Structure 1
Amino acid sequence: MAWWTVASNGSARRTPKAKCIHVLSAMTTRLWQRSNLIDRRRAQDTPLDEVLRRRQLTPRPLAGFTYRSSSKNRFQRNFGAKASHRYRICSKLDLRLGGALTDYEYDVAVSFAGEDREFVQNVVEGLKLNGVKVFYDQDEVATLWGENLVDFLEMIYSQKARYALLFTSRHYVDKKWPNYERQITQSRSLYQESPYILPIRIDDTPVPGLPPTISYLDAKSVGIDGIVRAVLEKVGSPQSDSKPKFDGRVPRDSRSMNILLTERPGGWEYLLYGAVLRERMDSLEGKYRDHLLEYAPRSGVHLEADAAFQKLKNNFTTLTGITDTFNRVLSPGAQEQAFGKPGEPGDPDRIIHLAERFCSVYEEFLDFAANLRSIDIENDYLRHAADIQARWVNQPIEVMRKFVDDYVRIADTITDRLASGEKGIELTLQITLDLDSSLTNELTETLRRYVRSR
């Protein structure tokens, strides 16, 4: 079978199928109709390329419309081909959330000047008696032996300790090592939303870089016992009067999320991700229900045929942009930045941001359909084509909803699995977005009829 190709000068010639522009080029071609050469009734019943062949008319392309098949525009590739083809927006993606889920090695790491060691040691002993894991230099003599202290201490204060206790004083401000430890903790607090630095003032000496608005404990007022009790409440030690409040499941409200970020049990990164996904998806439930009803409030926008056709053309680019964003959100690099490498703690702010961007893509799909349904289009064929395009995103929307449901269901089991001694837990989920080929074929036929009607 031969196909007709429209050349840049407006002429038409027979071309092998493999080299032609495919159906869409013919579909978006306006016949240069002459009443004595073609009647509309026959055009309605005869394939467009056959009409061109029989009548040898010169087609004139609609202004500005080009249709290219490329690897970047996956859902445009093979548009108008056989109904058996699948129109894949993106290839399968594995969401691998790190390697072994790890907890912090220490509940707290203490930073102090040598002149204040006696006071700090009493606090440390009180904490250890109550089951708190403390990084204290004199307990780590063998571990520190031979280590590069610059790298080692950075690892401790930036990654391995849940909180940093800074015992500030005039001696603290004057010493190099305490100031280096303070700088590490401040660097971490820049990208960690939840509290990390817990300052304790031994005297009233101001500390450079430590905001005066940050809440602190006054060692003279609360004493050693008061500091110990406050730390126990903060970390949720099993031996404290205040037992851990975390219930082991993905948080369903802001209070539970704050408890998760405070206690940070094993696998907290994945529970936080699930919590934000669930919360944001639930907040969009109203839009989703409108989508199921194929309802959208009228926008007051009225489009004539040419403008409507241009909008339908631009929607291909819009979908490309949405799906490119989807690929970036689930890229391995984005996951590693948020959840950390295996054995390293994640970044809560980036985890929250990553989950929010996932839900933003979901909302963009909903808005894509709602926008098409909210406008008035005067041409019946193009109105029907817009309705078809609105249904194009049904599959991506449902797949993303199922992904969140499956993820939360699996994440709810993490705490129990860790408590049972399971190691090296790895969460792997797949998500694939496809366009419905039957809708694509229906859209092709509708636009074909629109062109014939012109």
Structure 2
Amino acid sequence: MSGFTQKADEGAALTPEGIEGIPNTPVTVRNDMSGTVSGPVVQASQIGNVTINYNAGPPPMDSTPGQDSVEGVSSNRFEPVPRSLEQINSIVSRRSPAWEYLAYAGYLHVGMKELESRWLDYSLGHKFAGSSFSNAEDLSRHVVAAFREVEGIAHQVGLWLSPDAQARAFGAPGESGDPVLIEHLARRLVGAYGGLIDWSIAMRSVRTPEQLSQIVGTAARFADRSIKDFRLFVVNLVERLDGLSVLVEQAPTEPIFMNFSYVMDIDSQVLEEFQAEIRRVKRLQRRWF
């Protein structure tokens, strides 16, 4: 899933338009999901989504107290999203109504909380003693390679959110889902989120001469929107699933349909700042040489 190509045996170089291999005008390609992918790195109108389509239906007419219920929750009521692994295991083992989606949201919630310390490091501007580059040519090669890493993460996200993966995990209509695959997909998606955090911290930690530092600082912000939107994606998913019972009470015989999209995108302002900084450094190089 790439909006640009760069031969592995060629070094990257600064050009008036930007870093070689990262054009000013994004090249757009189609992917196998709804939406588009564009360079540099990835810009998607919709990289993937989670679709919930659950038909609760009316409760059986001959039901008796306790029948078709889970700890007092009737077949037309839903438990909230589990907030711990113990709660997830309980919902999965009891096959609570819509357990597949509740477990999936629970794993995303738990996984994101487990990475909270890393997210705090990222949000507070943490740096470590990163790689050191003394000239623009070596730095440009490093930046291009780093952008390829983000492309790899974007490809993973597309895989974990693909319709095929969701169908296998959540099951076809009327069929039970696969609890092992549900956990796997959720943990892989959280892993991609953690990868974006680590990538951003590593990029901002690169050491360069002062005149090149803004290239690094701006490049590190390429993942900002994708990180923020993943957190919103999980929060919105959990909040909406927590309210399933209310939706059923409002329309007890209607199917429940929800669509949650996670967008991987680059802030256009960040992209413009990055390209402007490349042009500034190129002008400086001309003065020096």
Category of TM-score, reference length = shorter chain: 0.7 to 0.9
CA distance in 2, matches of 1:131, 1:253: 26
- Look up the equivalent residue of 1:260 and give its one-letter code: I
Confirm or deny: 8 A CA contact 1:75 1:435 kept in the other structure. Answer: no
- 1:41-190 correspondence to structure 2 within 5 Å: 65-67=20-22, 70-72=27-29, 74-76=38-40, 89-92=43-46, 93-100=48-55
Closer, same or farther: CA 101–353 of 1 in aligned 2, 3 Å: farther
Report the RMSD for the aligned CA atoms in angstroms: 3.0
- Which deviations, in whole Å up to 9, do the C-alpha atoms of 1:371-412 show, x marking residues without a partner? 1122322x2232211110111211111111111000000111
Partner of 2:161: 330
Unaligned runs of 5+ in 1: 1-23, 30-64, 78-87, 103-128, 134-234, 239-245
| Separation in 2, partners of 1:350, 1:280 | 15
Which sections of structure 2, spanning at least 5 residues, go unmatched?
A: 1-13, 30-36, 58-63
| 3-state DSSP of counterpart to 1:434 | coil
TM-score, structure 2 as length reference: 0.76
Equivalent residue runs for 1:15-414 within 5 Å: 25-27=15-17, 65-67=20-22, 70-72=27-29, 74-76=38-40, 89-92=43-46, 93-100=48-55, 248-299=79-130, 301-305=131-135, 306-377=137-208, 379-414=209-244
SS at match of 2:125: coil
Secondary structure (helix, strand or coil) at the match of 1:252 reads: coil
Q: Normalised by the size of structure 1, how large is the TM-score?
A: 0.50
User: 1:435 and 1:28, CA in 2 relative to 1: closer, same or farther beyond 3 A?
Assistant: closer
Percent of aligned positions that are identical:
25
What is the letter of the counterpart of residue 412 of structure 1?
Answer: D
Deviation at 1:419, TM superposition (A): 6.8
The answer to whether structure 1 residue 439 and structure 2 residue 270 are counterparts is yes
AA aligned opposite 1:387: G
CA distance in 1, matches of 2:104, 2:56: 14
Residues 400 and 372 of structure 1: CA distance in aligned 2, closer, same or farther (over 3 Å): same
Q: Which amino acid aligns with 1:398?
A: K
1:132 Cα deviation (Å)?
7.2
- Classify 1:348/1:423 alpha carbon distance in 2 versus 1 (closer, same or farther; 3 Å): farther
- TM-superposed CA distance for 1:74, in Å, is 0.7
Q: Deviations over 1:278-322 (max 9, x none)?
A: 0000111111111111212324x3222232221112223222222
Contact preservation (8 Å) 2:128, 2:205: yes
CA contact (8 A) 1:370 1:390 kept: yes
Task: Please say if residues 78 and 98 of structure 2, whose CA atoms lie closer than 8 Å, have aligned partners that are also in contact.
Answer: no
The size of the alignment, in residue pairs, is 251
- 2:8 match: none
Question: In structure 1, how many angstroms separate the alpha carbons of the residues matched to 2:196 and 2:263?
Answer: 15
For 1:236 and 1:67, locate their aligned partners in 2 and report how far apart those are by CA, in whole Å.
55
Change (3 A) 1:28 1:132: closer
Q: CA offsets per residue over residues 133-189 of structure 1, 9 Å max, x none?
A: 8xxxxxxxxxxxxxxxxxxxxxxxxxxxxxxxxxxxxxxxxxxxxxxxxxxxxxxxx
C-alpha change, 1:25 and 1:422, in structure 2 (3 Å) is farther
**Cα deviation digits, residues 305-358 of structure 1 (max 9, x gap):** 232221112223222222122222211111111101111111111111111121
Contact 1:90 1:327 (8 Å CA) reproduced = no
Distance 2:238 2:96 in 1: 17
- Equivalent-residue separation in structure 2 for 1:312 and 1:237 (angstroms): 55
Conserved in 2, the CA contact under 8 Å of 1:101 and 1:343?
no
Distance in structure 2 (CA, Å) of the matches to 1:361 and 1:387: 21
Distance change >3 Å, CA 416–CA 439, structure 1 → 2: closer
In the alignment, the residues of structure 1 paired with residue 128 and residue 235 of structure 2 have an alpha-carbon distance, to the nearest angstrom, of 29
CA distance in 2, matches of 1:409, 1:426: 15
* CA 442–131 in structure 1, closer or farther in 2 if over 3 Å, else same: closer
* 8 Å CA contact retained: 1:97, 1:335: no
Shift in CA distance, 267/368, structure 1 to aligned 2, threshold 3 Å: same
| Of 417-426 and 339-348, the range deviating more from structure 2 | 417-426
Letter in 2 for 1:382: L
Larger Rg: 1
